[in-house]
Amino acid sequence: MAHPRLHQRPARLALLAGFVFPALTLNAARIAPQADDTPTETSAETPTPPSDTPIPTDTPIPSDTPPPTETLAPTPTFLETPTDTDTSTATSTPTETPTLTASAPPPTPYPGLSVLINEVAWAGTLASVSDEWIELSNPGASAIDLAGWRLTDGDDINVALSGLLPPFSYYLLERTNDSTVSDIPADQTYTGGLNNGGEVLSLRGPTGELVDSANADGGAWPAGSTAARASMQRIGGVDLPGNWMTFPGTGGNGTDADGNPIAGTPRAPNAFLFPTLTPTPALTPFPPLAVLIYEVAWAGTQASSTDEWIELYNASSFDVDLADWNLNDGEDVSISLSGILPAGGFFLLERTDDSTISDLPADQIYSGGLDNGGDSLWLLDPTGALIDSANGDGGAWPAGSSGSKASMERRGGEDRSWNWGTFTGYFGVGHDCDGRPILGTPRSPNSVSFPTPEPTWVPGAVVINEALIRPHYDWEGAGEVSTGDEFIELYNRGPYAVYLRDWMLDDVEHAGSSPYTIPGITISPGGFATFFRTRTGIALNDSGDEVRLLGPRGEVIDSIQYLRVRAYNLSYGRLPDGSNHLAYGLWPTPGRANLLFVEPTPIPILSPDCPLGGIPQARLPRLGRHPAVARWMASLGLAVCR
């Protein structure tokens, strides 16, 4: 990120150094007696010439000292010390009249970040782990004299800096000798070493003011690598963990003592600030947040934890050409983007191949993976300006779930933890490579952008679509007929997949069965979910009851009330599916479209039960007298014909 240019303070008035002010400016109280002192003492610094002839005590000795430098008291002093007879006039000129030498005024403290700790190779080089080096940079338009500045780690590194740091330039410090970066001369060498486990570097100005720091929290280094000996590079801003990146492995310069490439950019722009070594001067940086890192599925999908995907969103009012843009995590994810991102449009990146989201084509494929424990993503435009970030502080991900594989969605605004949310489950889009719903909203508005349904959210996307109260058939397919064949069917009539984790099914409130908590399943648009009594434990009373669908907070999403049910194998349900029209007398269709049981026109039925035709009549106990039921029972061979 480009730093704001900091103006250098005016040069010090060096001409004042060594200027001798007149003695007139002395404080006379320090070199002469006050007027109320007893006038019998003689200044110890005013010698009198020796003399063999006494001088009358009533003769004052004149002073030859000019008035501006007078050091005697206003009251005449009578000396009783003999004077030299060869001296016609005694002279009382002080031999050491104090004078005031003016020094330069105290230097003005430098503002913070006027000089930056720009790069730290705390892991050394491939030639030697002790070949550490540090780079400072001047982001301002004025040269800075480093005399009196110090760089310290509070332990064995305490470097008294010197030299002039030109504007927009770099200052290279190499440890021990100038062979650390063999082909680039050091501006200064130093002694002492950095702890690979983490230290704090402090840069202080000539008055001791803290101008910058590196790894101020004192924990592990926020970037850099012991394996590749890659440096820790500043990408802008104050010293926060998210403002440091590991050298990506390309765009470096210099060689170590053994001739190996330096994994860094000593005395050169950092790799993350300038993706190309010669950026086109005509390029204009994009405004921050013009393009957003909008959704990150860092936990993968239900099919595979490695099936990660990332979504960008163009929040601007103009189309953006992504050529030469870069999206990276500072480690193994570094994507050179390409393509046009329309205003208000989405850009989908899928890891490894295009099967991550099987029914949505990716705009681009990338390699490398995100750390489930926390990582940072950085979006840079062609000038190297930081446009957006995700989890810039580098800690744990602020949202998303490794358990359910729910994505991390952007609410909007800057990259702050409170501007991220976990996929709510209400508006999912797409399927993974195993056909299971994606717990996120790829190439669609984020679910966290919509208000969470209130307890009065009616009608909702998910409704109770069918309920069988009195079964007399093995509808579950368990191999036996029982009350466990009672079922409740849900239907998603909305345009997005809905994640039902922590939703509940229940019968009448404060009575009957205990609520059943639905596990983390997702219903696709137009999809069904069927729950049998053997699983839920919810008993639907034949005498009349209520079926309720509750949201995660216990709010009523949908409900159906019914009266006494006498007939077997006829269900309550919506006809057509998902409509607001509720009907009784449906043919049970768990997990399928609802079907009205219609009494057919009497026709001969050629079956073992009615070989001569006729209308089947139900005669078995408890089958009821409904003609439609009789015909159905006849088709099952359970009725006689007339």
**Whole-angstrom distance, CA of residue 587 vs CA of residue 569:** 7
Domain assignment present for 287: yes
CATH number of the structural domain spanning residue 380? 2.60.40.1260
Token pair recorded at residue 341? 């991102």
**pLDDT value of position 196:** 94
Same-domain status, 640 and 554? no
Instruction: Return the bridge partners of 210, or none.
Output: 204
DSSP class of 189: E
Asked if residue 27 is part of any domain, the answer here is yes
Backbone torsions φ then ψ of 212, nearest 5 degrees: -160, 165
Helices (H) and strands (E) in the chain, counts: 2, 38
d(CA 437, CA 434): 9
The pLDDT assigned to 630 comes to: 59
Domain of residue 629, residue span: 598-642
- 188-190 and 170-175 as β-strands: parallel, antiparallel, unpaired? parallel
Tell me how far apart the terminal alpha carbons of the chain are, to the nearest angstrom: 90
Last residue of a domain, one of 245, 273, 301: 273
- If one counts the domains in the chain, the total is 5
Claim to verify: residue 586 and residue 625 sit in the same structural domain: no
Q: Quick one: 24 and 67 in the same domain? A: yes
Distance CA(85)–CA(49), nearest Å, equals 9
In a domain, 607, yes or no: yes
pLDDT in tens, 87-102: 344 444 444 544 444 4
- 0.85 surpassed by pTM: no
DSSP class of 630: H
Residue 608: per-residue pLDDT: 52
Same domain for 367 and 293: yes
118 & 236 share domain: yes
Note the Cα 635 to chain centre separation in Å: 66
* 573-577 contacts, C-beta under 8 A, 24 or more apart: 573/465, 573/466, 573/467, 573/489, 574/463, 574/465, 574/466, 574/491, 577/465, 577/491, 577/493
Q: Are 499 and 553 in a shared domain?
A: yes
What does residue 459 show for φ and ψ, rounded to 5 degrees? Answer: -80, 155
- Region class of 453: left (phi > 0), else alpha (psi between -120 and 50), else beta: beta
Same domain, 312 and 444: yes
Asked if 303 and 439 sit in the same domain, the reply is yes
Confidence (pLDDT) at 604: 43
- Other Cβ atoms less than 10 A from the Cβ of 10: the count is 8
**532 is a domain residue:** yes
457 in any annotated domain: no
**Type of residue at 261:** P
pLDDT for res 288: 85
Q: Is 136 helix (H, G, I), strand (E, B) or coil?
A: strand
Residue 509: alpha-carbon gap to chain centroid = 44
The torsion angles phi and psi of 61, rounded to 5 degrees, stand at: -95, 120
Domain termination residue (choose one: 433, 452, 471): 452
Residues with Cβ within 8 Å of 560's Cβ and at least 6 positions away in sequence, in order, are 464, 467, 546, 547, 572, 582
Residue ranges of the chain with pLDDT lower than 70? 1-106, 272-285, 426, 450-459, 509-511, 597-642
Query: Do residues 297 and 422 both lie within one domain?
Result: yes
Looking at the structure, do residues 589 and 626 belong to the same domain, yes or no? no
Do 219 and 336 fall within a single domain? no
Burial of residue 379 (CB within 10 Å: 0-12, 13-18, 19+) is buried
- Tell me if 473 is assigned to some domain: yes
CA distance 299 to 78: 100
Select from 101, 132, 149 the last residue of a domain: 101
Q: Are residues 252 and 400 in the same domain?
A: no
**Residue 195, in any domain of the structure:** yes
Q: For residue 602, is it within any domain?
A: yes
| CB count in 10 Å sphere of residue 17 | 11
Half-sphere exposure of 110 (CA within 13 A, CB side): 31
Token duo for residue 188: 């200064």
Provide the token pair at 561. Answer: 């009330």
Other beta carbons within 10 Å of 148: 14
